[in-house]
Amino acid sequence: MRIGIIGAGSIGLLFAAYLSETCPVTVYTKTVDQAKDINKNGIVLVKNRQEIKRDVEARGIDTWNGQEDLIIVAVKQYQLEEIIKKISQITKIPLNILFLQNGMGHLKLLSRLEGHNLFVGSVEHGAYKESAYRVRQNGEGVTNLALFCGALAGLSSFISLVPIDFPVCFHENYYEMLLNKLIINAVINPLTAILQVENGGLLKNDYYYNVLKDLFTEITFILNLEEPDIYFNRVIEVCQNTAQNRSSMLKDIVSGRKTEVDAILGFLLEKAQQEAKPAPLINSFYNLVKGKEMNGQAGESSMNNNIAPSS
């Protein structure tokens, strides 16, 4: 089974490193320079103080034409629009495509694609991109997978080939599967991004923990959750198991990058509007994160303007 991975961030590199054990993998990068680095150095997986090198082919995204048996889309949700357009131009039908985005805002985009076998997933592994070709796994979990539309055969073949040390779990209901991850992300990510703390910091500080509970309660109200204690316990468990980790949203804010807040809290705000329910906390954290985004990107732009061009 030939696998193509679109996106060479932390998750794309992590998947490429593991899947290349059992399948030929091609990684499609945003920049040609990153593709050159991967072709020269391979992908280096840093895990448990060990470095594992995997030889993986890399190409620029412009060369992708859908020839693989399975395509894994591992870009951020806000980068997905361009990929969806590119997929729409592929004449080979049907394609087997697995989307690995946070939140649930991308589901509307996937609904535009017709005639393909589409799968969605949520990733519980912790990963950090150290360089163009190095990725550190700082938390082991599972990848949850489900069918969004089309035929299941392509996903079943993929599951049978995944290495045993990179476990996957198939779910019958994609919405419920993504909802579980959405709730975790919607509580932990914005709080850690604004408070500038690691995940475990939300439990160590009583005042932060009170806000966590209030935010979760509002999310419960918006989503009409049955048995909310089950979801709350999962949030707490993730905070405990990843206590030393920084959330992806915090890392994006610190690095001056755009976050996935629209796919996470933005989705909940749309849901609140549909339900005609107030969501003051969700709205406040959404605006705070967007404000942090704006400040970070403006600061980065300002710094870039002060750097003389190299000759």
Q: What's the pLDDT tens digit per position in 11-68?
A: 999 999 999 999 999 999 999 999 999 999 999 999 988 999 999 999 999 999 999 9
When pLDDT is cut at 50, 70 and 90, the band that residue 297 belongs to is low
Task: Give dist(CA 282, CA 199) in Å, integer.
Answer: 19
Average pLDDT, integer, range 95-109: 92
Classify residue 246 as exposed, middle or buried by CB count within 10 Å of its CB (0-12, 13-18, 19+). Answer: buried
Q: Does the pLDDT value for residue 205 go beyond 50?
A: yes
Which residue out of 30, 47, 86, 181 is catalytically annotated? 181
Comparing 128 with 187, the larger pLDDT belongs to 187
When pLDDT is cut at 50, 70 and 90, the band that residue 311 belongs to is very low
When pLDDT is cut at 50, 70 and 90, the band that residue 194 belongs to is very high
When pLDDT is cut at 50, 70 and 90, the band that residue 241 belongs to is confident
pLDDT for res 48: 87
Asked about 181 being catalytic, the answer comes back as: yes
- Unique residue bearing structure tokens 């949030």: 235
- Unique residue bearing structure tokens 């840093």: 46
When pLDDT is cut at 50, 70 and 90, the band that residue 126 belongs to is confident
Instruction: Answer whether 80's CB lies under 8 Å from 106's CB.
Output: yes
Comparing 242 with 133, the larger pLDDT belongs to 133
Structural domains for the chain: 3-172 (3.40.50.720), 177-294 (1.10.1040.10)
Instruction: Answer whether 168's CB lies under 8 Å from 159's CB.
Output: yes
Calculate the average pLDDT of the chain.
91
Share of residues in the chain with pLDDT > 90 (%): 80
Average pLDDT, integer, range 173-186: 95
Torsion of CA 234, 128, 103, 214, to 10 degrees: 50
Q: Does the pLDDT value for residue 309 go beyond 90?
A: no
When pLDDT is cut at 50, 70 and 90, the band that residue 304 belongs to is very low
Task: Give dist(CA 117, CA 268) in Å, integer.
Answer: 27
